Amino acid sequence: MTEQQIQHWRMITDDENVVWLHLDKSDAHVNTLSSVVMQEFEQMLHRLEQQTPTGVVILSDKSSGFIAGADVHEFSDRTDEDEIFAYIRYCQSLFERLQALPCPSVALIHGYCMGGGTELALACQYRVGVDEPDTRIGLPEIRLGIHPGYGGTVRSTRLLGPLTAMDMMLTGRALSARAGKRIGLFDYVVPQRHLHNAARRIIQQRPPVRKTKALHKMLSLRPVRPLLAWQLRKQVMKKADKNHYPAPYALIDLWEKYAGADDMMKQEARSVARLIGTNSAQNLIRVFFLQAAMKEAARQSSFKAGHVHVIGAGAMGGDIATWCALQGLTVTLQDQSAERIAPALGRAARLFRKKLKSTRLVTAAMDRLIPDPDRHGLGRADVVIEAIFEDLEVKQQLFREIEPLIRDDTLLCTNTSSIPLQELGECLHRPQRLVGLHFFNPVEKMQLVEIVHADNTDNNVINNAAAFTKQIAKLPLKVKSSPGFLINRVLMPYLLEAAFMVQEGIDPGLIDKASVRFGMPMGPVELADKVGLDICLSVAEILTSHLGGKVPDILNDYVSSGYTGLKSGRGFYEYRKGKPVKHRAGEDNELIRTIQDRLILRLLNEAVACLREGVVDSEDMLDAGMIFATGFAPFTGGPLKYLHSLKLENQKQRFEEFNKKYGGRFEMDAGWNKLLC
Ligand code: NAI
């Protein structure tokens, strides 16, 4: 046995002349294919070409997984198209040399295998995945505003067929080991302990390499491609506007024009090089970094919970408890009686079945979620989350009761959506231990959690809360306790402006259309109905009572008539089978522009005020929060990134114009001058 090591790769040649090529990127938690890693890979390839081994196995030494993809940092600095093109061609040539090795090549995959990692695996003759829930394989480049560039579009469409491969690339979806096996991405999935033996056996026995199926060849024939491409474009158009998200369209064009052609590789590289320079890709890459920064901020503490005690099994508490149990924690769930806990358990069972599928895993998750009306879990829990009625006195009464019963080191959290933390904490002996964990509804879908702190909150407590949030696979955003915190405060003026427009008689469908055209995932009128007009009204009343402003009468009128939105079957829209009945909205471009400006300027103005008041630490974190909690047009990079593309003078005029027309709602915040000077 011989071993050679360079900075990131280790090459072991065993007694059977099989080369085991280990990637272990130095100074990094995860393996990425940075340019240095690729240059070293070239050195390894050179040795393999000289050495003629019996077989090559590529594997990762990182516990987190195989390879997370190319090093995205390198793409955020480079925008010179020709330089990027040359680099991509270089990487493609390495994978072609890997594919051309005269011996069998096997990729052994555990944990994450994404983007460039999957493309490397596709250049191997065989792929073996570990049969564990954390094995995830995919080509998610579309989420960064590009598409695969290291031969991934060519090899995946050939191996999996255009229907499956295009679906995978267009959605950017990650697949489990078994799903990957089903579509043919993995040749074998095996338990971790059999992984190395599986590779040895493949190299000894050389089973037939998976070939392109006849049907896949047929679907890629020149006369068939335009039809399929048309279908794909139609699907994509429902989700992504071409002006905002050019990448999926470029991918379809590439396949339609060049599938099967000798120069598809070259065209793939050209297309990616072009896309990387677009604002859309640069902003989506920024969003990717913002997400990473939020996770990084959670690393300031090593706090890890085993047991969570949730008080209040209503809409929020029940779902928070369920989510924590789904993430593997032991959860005790307290309410005033067992009957009040039962509906939450029913919802939990449904979610576990949907997410976990296997009966064994569902049963285990149900076992972790323990109804606890007599609060036996309180004294043992590492984290206590209060989610009872939104009433200061009721909450304070509860805190007085529980403070002597919980451990000194227990993280004490409240899910209050509006009560200032300092007021809540007044009843505690140690108010500095109380922190807000503001989850959003529905808990299962919303990634963001606001970590709310008062001036006197202990810093360690804030960091522990962020670490706990990350532990349960949510994104923590630290915010100062102030009315509406950050997200509701910035979103509410946008929703209220939409309500004012409905009150003026503007068609709700047109308002939503204008907002979606701007890039929002859903229009504000439909969103308000979905959140519940009663909830919007109560948040709006709290905010206006602290910050001034007016709640549109229409909101009060609708709520008092029982029209609370989707849940009552009628709000601003009428609902049939859970869907809003929308009339065909017109195409008045001038009006659409005005609607967009009214909505977005109110949102931006509040964002500027929050930043000026220090509700959130930085522009980056504000952008991240708004994107991950509200879906604010990701291709813009977030509200403040978008704001920086505007001209101060133009905006001043627009504010003045709107202020004259619509009353004092459009008072430009003082912070604009500093941001756009
Ligand atoms: P809910 O009314 O659905 O549930 C409250 C639950 O608390 C009820 O089951 C009630 O029996 C229980 N409860 C009340 N007093 C209790 C006590 N002393 N001991 C034990 N259990 C008690 O309310 P929801 O909507 O779940 O709200 C809970 C908290 O979450 C509130 O502070 C609310 O502001 C906050 N929140 C609500 C959101 C929403 O969209 N509903 C979003 C984010 C936060």
Read off the CATH number of the domain in which 139 is found: 3.90.226.10
Is the C-beta atom of 373 inside 6 A of ligand 1?
no
Predicted pLDDT of residue 585: 75
Predicted pLDDT of residue 79: 74
- Beta bridge partner(s), residue 67: 113
Is the C-beta atom of 395 inside 6 A of ligand 1?
no
Residue tagged active-site, from 132, 141, 590, 657: 141
Q: Which of 226-230, 250-254, 423-427, 581-585 has the lowest mean pLDDT?
A: 581-585
Is the C-beta atom of 487 inside 6 A of ligand 1?
no
What is the distance, to the nearest Å, from the Cα of residue 352 to the centroid of all Cα atoms in its chain?
20
Same domain, 597 and 494: yes
Q: Tens digit of pLDDT for each residue in 421-441?
A: 999 999 999 999 999 999 999
Residue 639 located in a structural domain = no
What does the alpha-carbon distance between residue 259 and residue 153 come to, in Å, rounded to a whole number? 9
Active site residue 401: no
Is the C-beta atom of 336 inside 6 A of ligand 1?
yes
Which residue has the least CA distance to atom 14 on ligand 1? 388
Give SS3 for 113. strand
Query: Is the distance from CB of 173 to CB of 115 less than 8 angstroms?
Result: no
Q: Which atom of ligand 1 is nearest to the CA of 416?
A: 32
Give SS3 for 476. strand
Same domain, 459 and 507: no
Provide the residue range defining the domain that includes 248.
2-277
Contacts of 456 (CB under 8 A, 6+ apart): 422, 425, 431, 432
What is the distance, to the nearest Å, from the Cα of residue 93 to the centroid of all Cα atoms in its chain?
32
Q: Tens digit of pLDDT for each residue in 342-354?
A: 999 999 999 999 9
Same domain, 266 and 362: no
Read off the CATH number of the domain in which 550 is found: 1.10.1040.50
Average pLDDT across the chain, whole number: 95
Same domain, 478 and 518: no
Which residue has the least CA distance to atom 44 on ligand 1? 417
pLDDT at 6 over 90: no
Q: Between the CA of residue 328 and those of 177, 306, 346, what are the distances in Å?
A: 20, 8, 18
Q: Tens digit of pLDDT for each residue in 10-67?
A: 999 999 999 999 999 998 989 999 999 999 999 999 999 998 899 999 999 999 999 9
Same domain, 597 and 479: no
Is the C-beta atom of 313 inside 6 A of ligand 1?
yes
Q: What is the mean pLDDT of residues 630-656?
A: 95
Residue 131 located in a structural domain = yes
Same domain, 474 and 410: yes
Q: What is the mean pLDDT of residues 162-171?
A: 96
Domain edge (last residue) among 426, 456, 483: 483
Same domain, 306 and 194: no
Same domain, 202 and 329: no
Is the C-beta atom of 532 inside 6 A of ligand 1?
no
Q: Tens digit of pLDDT for each residue in 537-566?
A: 999 998 999 889 999 999 999 999 999 999
Predicted pLDDT of residue 202: 98
What does the alpha-carbon distance between residue 167 and residue 165 come to, in Å, rounded to a whole number? 5
Please tell me what DSSP assigns to residue 191: -
Q: Which residue has the tokens 């990079």?
A: 637
Q: What percent of the chain has pLDDT over 70?
A: 100
pLDDT at 366 over 80: yes
Q: Tens digit of pLDDT for each residue in 374-392?
A: 999 999 999 999 999 999 9
Pocket residue to mutate for ligand 1, from 322, 333, 386, 389, most atoms within 8 A of Cβ: 389
Contacts of 331 (CB under 8 A, 6+ apart): 307, 308, 309, 310, 321, 324, 325, 368, 369, 370
What does the alpha-carbon distance between residue 436 and residue 424 come to, in Å, rounded to a whole number? 10
pTM of this structure: 0.91
What does the alpha-carbon distance between residue 629 and residue 607 come to, in Å, rounded to a whole number? 14
Predicted pLDDT of residue 235: 95
Predicted pLDDT of residue 252: 98
- Beta bridge partner(s), residue 509: none
Residue 239 located in a structural domain = yes
Same domain, 432 and 313: yes
Residue 349 located in a structural domain = yes
pLDDT at 584 over 90: no
Q: How confident is the model at residue 1 (pLDDT cuts 50, 70, 90)?
A: confident
Read off the CATH number of the domain in which 330 is found: 3.40.50.720
Residue 628 located in a structural domain = no
Residue tagged active-site, from 16, 42, 49, 119: 119
Report how far ligand 1's centroid is from the alpha carbon of 414 (Å): 10
Helix axes 247-258, 162-171, angle to 10 degrees: 160
Predicted pLDDT of residue 247: 98
Q: Which atom of ligand 1 is nearest to the CA of 395?
A: 18
Query: Is the distance from CB of 41 to CB of 11 less than 8 angstroms?
Result: no
What is the distance, to the nearest Å, from the Cα of residue 509 to the centroid of all Cα atoms in its chain?
28
Domain edge (last residue) among 457, 483, 509: 483
Is the C-beta atom of 388 inside 6 A of ligand 1?
yes
Residues constituting the chain: 677
Active site residue 119: yes
Report how far ligand 1's centroid is from the alpha carbon of 488 (Å): 18
What does the alpha-carbon distance between residue 7 and residue 36 come to, in Å, rounded to a whole number? 9
Residue 253 located in a structural domain = yes
Same domain, 505 and 546: yes
Q: How confident is the model at residue 77 (pLDDT cuts 50, 70, 90)?
A: low
pLDDT at 587 over 90: no
**Residue spans of beta strands (DSSP E) within 587-655:** none
Q: Which residue has the tokens 């979806």?
A: 173
What does the alpha-carbon distance between residue 492 and residue 610 come to, in Å, rounded to a whole number? 13
Pocket residue to mutate for ligand 1, from 320, 417, 437, most atoms within 8 A of Cβ: 417
Phi, psi of 389 (to 5 degrees): -50, 150
Q: What is the mean pLDDT of residues 119-137?
A: 96
Q: How confident is the model at residue 175 (pLDDT cuts 50, 70, 90)?
A: very high
Q: What is the mean pLDDT of residues 96-124?
A: 97
Q: What is the mean pLDDT of residues 598-615?
A: 97
Q: What total number of domains does the chain contain?
A: 3
Predicted pLDDT of residue 2: 86
Instruction: Output 452 or 79, whichever has higher pLDDT.
Output: 452
What does the alpha-carbon distance between residue 547 and residue 533 come to, in Å, rounded to a whole number? 20
Report how far ligand 1's centroid is from the alpha carbon of 556 (Å): 23
Q: Tens digit of pLDDT for each residue in 618-640?
A: 999 999 999 999 999 999 999 99
401 Rama sector, left if φ>0, alpha if ψ -120 to 50, beta otherwise? alpha
Q: Tens digit of pLDDT for each residue in 284-323?
A: 999 999 999 999 999 999 999 999 999 999 999 999 999 9
Query: Is the distance from CB of 126 to CB of 202 less than 8 angstroms?
Result: yes
Report how far ligand 1's centroid is from the alpha carbon of 186 (Å): 46
Does the N-terminal peptide bond of residue 476 adopt cis geometry, omega within 30 degrees of 0?
no
Same domain, 450 and 506: no
Please tell me what DSSP assigns to residue 380: T
Q: Which residue has the tokens 């009663």?
A: 534
**Residue spans of beta strands (DSSP E) within 135-184:** 136-138, 174-175
Which has the closest alpha carbon to 180: 204, 202, 196, 156? 156
Same domain, 259 and 232: yes
> How much of the chain is in helix, strand and coil states, percent to nearest 5?
55, 15, 30
Domain edge (last residue) among 439, 467, 483: 483
Provide the H-helix boundaries in 184-278: 195-205, 214-219, 225-239, 247-258, 264-276
Is the C-beta atom of 463 inside 6 A of ligand 1?
no
Is the C-beta atom of 538 inside 6 A of ligand 1?
no
